[in-house]
Amino acid sequence: MMRAITRRGFVGAAAAASLCGAPAAIAAGDAPFRLGLTPVFLDNDAAVIAQLRNTFHAAMDQPIELLQRRTYEEVTGLLLEGAIDAAWLCGYPFLQHRKALSLIGVPVWNGRPLYRSYLIAAPGDPATGLADLEGGLHAFSDPDSNSGWLVTASNLARMGRTPDDFFARSIFTYGHRNVVRAVASGLTRSGSVDGYVWDVLSEVDPGLAGRTRVVSRSEWLGFPPFVARADRVAAPAVARFAQALSSMETTPEGRAALRTLHLDGVAPGEVSLFDGIAARMRDVSRL
């Protein structure tokens, strides 16, 4: 599945590259810039991948390789061991490895670099809050996702409960879209999902998102950031990438990609944006 998407993305990129008249031949010894992607955004959208590749290729004048992995943990691992140069990660793993990683940009959504976590259930479900969902099946996105796990787990921790003893059973779907699918199909009663993903899905795929409703929303938290290893953040390629990110809204390719992603742009960002996540991490770790 991963390979298929990668290949499809590559073919799309090649076609787009030739259409844009970008240089087809790469100078010898020009290693591609490798960017890791997590399923934070619309993970199965090959168009998004092709657009991102075009954007960064054009802005950095360097071939770019987009790597997808099933879990946040795998992408984080690749970043820490230096197999990739940068990654679009979640605030939670960023804070988990705060010492080793540096922030190089935070996407801006609806004018702010913030998003929320939603607790969703079926439209006919009578639940009005997390407490009403006890004993049901729950879908998390990823154990290293802030919106898809940490927010609900920390809310439960504040109630003195853990996901395992609160829910009859909880499953990981490794994708925010999959959480929506699980709840929409009735596989699980409720799910923890990225509010940004759910809102965008409501626009682009109302047939799916419409089969779920938001039971509760978290406070505003730092948007999933672009990060690089702290010891490599000064490298020219990483610096070019940070520059390409911040200037995305100034290029046609960048604007197209941002439009597809329903984002306004990418801001430099401050670590303090993720204080809310840090607080939740502390609540969970206390259990």
Partner 1 sequence: MIRAFARLPISVRVPIMSAALMVLVGLIASHQVLTALTRAQEARLEELMRLHVDGLSVALGPSVLREDVWEVYDTLDRARQAGADQRMILTVVSDSDGQVIAATDPRRAPVGSELSDLTDLDTVPKLDEIALTSADGHVRVLAPLVYQGRGVGRILTEMDVSDLAAERRRATLALIVFNTVATGGLALIGLVVTRRMLRPISVLAGRMAAGAGRPEPIPPQEVPSGDSEVARLFRTYNDMVDAIAAKSDTERRLAERERLVSLGRLSSSLAHEINNPLGGLLNAADTIETYAERPDTVRKSAGILVRGLRHLRDVSAAALDHNRVDRRGEALKPEDLEDLRMLVAPEAQRQRQSLGWMIDASADDLAPHPAGPVRQIALNLVLNALNAAGPSGTVSLRVDGLEDGLQLVVTDGGPGLSEAALRRLFSSAPTEPGGGVGLRVVRDLVSSLGGRIAHDRHEGRTVITVTLPGKRAREVA
Q: CA 173, 45, 125: angle at the middle one, nearest 5?
A: 45
Give the SS3 label for residue 175. coil
Point out which span in 83-91, 172-180, 207-215, 269-277 binds partner 1 (CB under 8 A): 172-180
Q: What span, in angstroms and rounded, lies between the C-alpha atoms of 87 and 15?
A: 25
137 CB-side CA count, 13 A? 14
Does 201 participate in binding partner 1 (rule CB under 8 A)? no
How far apart are CB 45 and partner 1 at their closest, in Å?
16
Point out which span in 178-186, 216-224, 238-246, 253-261 binds partner 1 (CB under 8 A): 178-186
Q: Residue type at 247?
A: S
Residues 6+ apart with CB under 8 A from 57: 13, 17, 22, 63, 64
Give the SS3 label for residue 10. helix
Closest CA to 66 of 94, 44, 85, 80: 85
Does 172 participate in binding partner 1 (rule CB under 8 A)? yes
Does 138 participate in binding partner 1 (rule CB under 8 A)? no
DSSP string over 236-261 = HHHHHHHHHHHTGGGSHHHHHHHHHH
Give the SS3 label for residue 208. helix
Does 188 participate in binding partner 1 (rule CB under 8 A)? yes
Q: List the 137-140 sheet strands across, edge first.
A: 169-172, 137-140, 190-194, 117-121, 213-217
Binder among 18, 185, 243, 250 for partner 1 (CB under 8 A): 185
Binder among 33, 149, 166, 174 for partner 1 (CB under 8 A): 174
Binder among 2, 14, 131, 168 for partner 1 (CB under 8 A): 168
Binder among 178, 190, 212, 216 for partner 1 (CB under 8 A): 178
Does 121 participate in binding partner 1 (rule CB under 8 A)? no
CB of 94 or CB of 149, closer to partner 1: 149
Total number of residues binding partner 1 (CB under 8 A)? 15
Binder among 34, 53, 176, 181 for partner 1 (CB under 8 A): 181
User: Given the rule CB under 8 A, which residues bind partner 1?
Assistant: 137, 139, 168-169, 171-174, 178, 181-182, 185-188
